[in-house]
């Protein structure tokens, strides 16, 4: 076993040290593989296959790099110069690819946080964009806008925006305001509207529809109509009941007034 | 005259369910038009083929999940008045639940639903909160000691309520998964399978559907929508609700 302590010609370490360093690297590879397998089980349930594969690769290579650096450091190899050069190179690459990295990180967080899922109708409020999520990739998300255009949004933009997810919950509220003339009987108008919305099969009976006097406006008594509908038919319910309310108010002879202003003409003092 | 059953496909066949008239018209050698008119206006129309009497038309009650569209697979039976149960007691009541009428073409190999309609006015309700709740087909039920279901519109529920807890319990509404429900027939009277609602503790109730008729001599509805059958066989348990968590009584929104 003398060869273990024999210094390798031209290197500053022995064969035994080299063997130990190789073992450290091999152990690093094994740990990397185990970490990848474990993370596969954990991540596959919380993120998409693409994102999961990417995170697994990062974990795997990071473990191997750490093991290799530890092994080389054990052999007495000085990394100061390499680290300095690597650091400068890293800064350059970091500046050049910061948007890519930001999108990548946002993509991973989108998969973990899941503010949206494929098929969700959403609205990105700041951008005034509305559509259905088609695909969430690691750098960008595809949306089919409601007017039928395919839109690709960088994940960073999506992740940092205010997002309205219209199908997250099973039910949504429809709110409609309608003004009636001051001479009309409020209770009659409320009863007529309430009966109409209750007769709509898609309007939920529970929570019960609500119609009430919301405010005394400049030109009209403003009624607020609040009904709940299954999220999947929210738009349909809204369009139906607006039309139905106009129709029944017309049939009941209840006036929806135009904006009006009383002009008072003062008498001349002379 | 009994209306639920299977019929030979013939030109001129017609049957009336209140304001709905179902009729068949022959248009070719093996081709027929199925038509349903509601108050004289066409409500449904399908062209299908029937080879030399191998296909029949079947009309049977189905679970109330088709009309006006498939929005909910839960049924919420809201009781006309609450049932108060003393601790460690049980009682049996007759309730009602909605049904729909399904029209099928049936052959030896498979069945196909060509139409479904409801004689009642379908309404939906939210059970729970918008973020945690369920959209349910809503039905207001009477509570009685005898059969009160409206024919072709409702099914009879003979439900045993058991309070196993040490406190009084009040039951206002019952929620069940429609995909779990089996229907039985006696003539044209429809029954839900034998069921019991058990209150174990606190305000949580469990509904058990027992996969057997509630009375002797009833026959199981022989035809159901295929997709529903497959769904049930594939994913649902026979006891409990078949959905995650239990329904909590009176957790209304």
B76-131 confidence digits (pLDDT tens): 899 988 888 898 899 999 999 999 998 888 887 778 888 888 898 889 999 888 88
- Is B59 a residue whose pLDDT tops 60? yes
What are chain A's domains? 2-77 (no CATH), 115-165 (2.30.30.60), 171-251 (3.30.70.100)
B chain contacts of residue A206, beta-carbon cutoff 8 Å: 76, 125-127, 138, 252-253
Phi, psi of A203 (to 5 degrees): -75, 125
pLDDT averages per 10-residue partition of chain A, 270 residues: 72 82 90 86 70 78 87 79 78 78 83 82 86 85 89 88 87 92 92 94 92 91 94 90 94 89 76
Does the beta-carbon distance from A206 to B253 stay under 8 Å? yes
Nearest to B174 by CA among B152, B192, B188, B147: B192
Give the distance from CA A246 to its chain's centroid. Answer: 37
Give domain status of residue B164, yes or no. yes
Does the beta-carbon distance from A205 to B123 stay under 8 Å? yes
pLDDT of residue B246: 42
B32-45 confidence digits (pLDDT tens): 888 888 887 777 77
Nearest chain B Cα distance for residue A165, angstroms = 12
Which residue is closest to A233 within chain B, CA to CA? Answer: B71
pLDDT of residue B236: 38
Which residue is closest to A208 within chain B, CA to CA? Answer: B125
By Cβ distance, the residue of B71, B125, B131 closest to A206 is B125
Q: Output the six-digit token pair for A129.
A: 């964009």
By Cβ distance, the residue of A172, A207, A233 closest to B71 is A233
pLDDT of residue B202: 65
Residues in chain B whose beta carbon is closer than 8 A to a beta carbon of chain A? 68, 71-72, 76, 121-127, 130-131, 133-135, 138, 252-253
Give domain status of residue B38, yes or no. yes
Give domain status of residue B243, yes or no. no
| Contact (CB, 8 A) for B131 and B48 | no
Which residue is closest to A206 within chain B, CA to CA? Answer: B125
Distance between CA A96 and CA B235 in Å, rounded?
51
- The strand order across the sheet containing B31-38 reads B14-17, B20-26, B31-38, B41-49
| Contact (CB, 8 A) for A174 and A227 | yes
pLDDT of residue A270: 62
SS3 B179: helix
Domains of chain B: total: 1
Give domain status of residue B10, yes or no. yes
Number of residues assigned to chain A: 270
SS3 B233: helix
Does the beta-carbon distance from A170 to B135 stay under 8 Å? yes
By Cβ distance, the residue of A168, A201, A232 closest to B122 is A201
B chain contacts of residue A207, beta-carbon cutoff 8 Å: 126, 253
| Contact (CB, 8 A) for A44 and A131 | no
Does the beta-carbon distance from B71 to A207 stay under 8 Å? no
| Owning domain of residue B114 | 5-235
Express the helix, strand and coil content of chain B in percent, nearest 5 each.
Answer: 5, 50, 45
SS3 B228: helix
Give domain status of residue B101, yes or no. yes
Mutate to test the interface with B, among A171, A195, A240 (most CBs of B within 10 A): A171
The DSSP line for chain A is -GGGGPBPTTSSSBHHHHHHHHHHHHHHHHHHHHHHHHHHHHHTTTS-HHHHHHHHHHHHHHHHHHHHHHHHHHTT---HHHHHHHHHHHHHHHHHTHHHHHHHHHHHHHHHH-SS-TT-EEEETTTTEEEEEEEE-SSEEEEEETTS-EEEEEHHHHHTS-EEETTSSSEEEEEEEEEE-TTS-HHHHHHHHHHHHHT-TTS-SBSPPEEEEEEE-SSSEEEEEEEEEEGGGHHHHHHHHHHHHHHHHHHTT---PPP--PPP-PPP--
Give domain status of residue B240, yes or no. no
Does the beta-carbon distance from B135 to A169 stay under 8 Å? no
By Cβ distance, the residue of B121, B131, B135 closest to A230 is B135
pLDDT of residue A51: 67
B chain contacts of residue A240, beta-carbon cutoff 8 Å: none
Q: Output the six-digit token pair for B173.
A: 């509404």
**Residue B37 CB: number of other CB atoms within 10 A?**
17
Q: Residue written as tokens 């199908």?
A: A167
Which of the residue ranges A65-69, B153-157, B201-205 would you say has the lowest mean pLDDT? B201-205
A22-33 confidence digits (pLDDT tens): 998 999 999 989
By Cβ distance, the residue of B68, B121, B125 closest to A204 is B125
pLDDT: which is higher, B154 or A83: B154
Q: Does ipTM top 0.95?
A: no
B chain contacts of residue A201, beta-carbon cutoff 8 Å: 68, 121-124
B chain contacts of residue A232, beta-carbon cutoff 8 Å: 71
Does the beta-carbon distance from A204 to B126 stay under 8 Å? yes
Does the beta-carbon distance from B135 to A202 stay under 8 Å? no
Give domain status of residue B251, yes or no. no
Q: Which residues of A174-193 are buried (b: 16+ CB within 10 A; e: fewer)?
A: bebebbbeeebeeeebbebb
SS3 B234: helix
Confidence band for B203, pLDDT divided at 50, 70 and 90: low
């Amino acid at each position: 076993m003398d060869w273990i302590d024999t210094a390798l010609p031209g290197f500053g370490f022995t064969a035994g040290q080299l063997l130990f360093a190789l073992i450290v690297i091999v152990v690093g590879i094994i740990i990397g593989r185990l970490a990848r397998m474990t993370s596969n089980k954990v991540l596959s349930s919380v993120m998409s296959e693409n994102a999961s594969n990417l995170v697994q690769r990062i974990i795997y290579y990071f473990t191997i790099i750490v093991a290799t650096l530890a092994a080389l450091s054990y052999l007495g190899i000085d990394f100061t110069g390499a680290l300095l050069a690597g650091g400068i190179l890293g800064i350059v690459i970091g500046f050049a690819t910061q948007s890519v990295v930001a999108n990548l990180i946002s993509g991973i967080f989108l998969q973990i946080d899941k503010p949206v899922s494929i098929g969700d109708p959403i609205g990105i409020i700041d951008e005034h964009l509305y559509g259905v999520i088609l695909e969430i990739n690691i750098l960008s998300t595809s949306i089919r806008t409601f007017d039928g255009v395919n839109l690709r949004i960088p994940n960073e933009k999506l992740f940092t925006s205010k997002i309205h997810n219209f199908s997250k919950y099973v039910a949504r509220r429809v709110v409609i305001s309608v003004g009636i003339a001051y001479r009309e009987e409020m209770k009659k108008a409320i009863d007529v509207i309430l009966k109409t919305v209750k007769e709509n099969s898609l309007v939920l009976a529970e929570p019960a529809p609500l119609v009430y006097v919301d405010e005394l406006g400049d030109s009209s008594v403003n009624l607020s109509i609040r009904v709940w509908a299954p999220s999947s038919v929210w738009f349909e319910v809204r369009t139906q009941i607006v039309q139905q309310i106009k129709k029944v108010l017309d049939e009941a002879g209840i006036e929806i007034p135009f904006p009006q202003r009383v002009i008072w003409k003062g008498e001349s003092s002379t | 005259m009994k209306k639920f059953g299977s019929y030979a496909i013939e030109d001129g066949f017609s049957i009336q369910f209140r304001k709905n008239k179902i009729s068949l018209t022959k248009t070719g050698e093996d081709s027929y038009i199925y038509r349903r008119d509601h108050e004289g206006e066409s409500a449904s129309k399908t062209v299908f083929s029937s080879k030399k009497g191998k296909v029949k038309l079947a009309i049977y009650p189905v679970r109330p999940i088709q009309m006006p569209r498939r929005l909910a697979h839960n049924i919420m039976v809201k009781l006309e008045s609450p049932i108060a149960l003393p601790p460690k007691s049980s009682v049996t009541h007759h309730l009602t639940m909605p049904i729909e009428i399904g029209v099928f073409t049936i052959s030896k190999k498979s069945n196909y639903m060509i139409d479904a309609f409801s004689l009642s006015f379908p309404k939906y309700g939210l059970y729970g909160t918008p973020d945690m709740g369920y959209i349910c087909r809503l039905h207001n039920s009477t509570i009685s000691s005898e059969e009160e279901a409206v024919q072709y519109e409702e099914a009879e529920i003979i439900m045993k309520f058991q309070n196993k807890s040490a406190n009084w319990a009040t039951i206002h509404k019952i929620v069940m998964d429609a995909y779990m429900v089996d229907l039985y027939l006696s003539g044209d009277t429809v029954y839900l399978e034998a069921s019991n609602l058990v209150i174990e503790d606190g305000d949580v109730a469990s509904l058990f559907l027992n996969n057997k008729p509630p009375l002797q001599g009833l026959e199981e509805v022989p035809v159901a929508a295929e997709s529903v059958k497959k769904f049930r066989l594939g994913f649902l348990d026979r006891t409990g609700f078949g959905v995650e968590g239990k329904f909590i009584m009176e957790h209304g929104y």
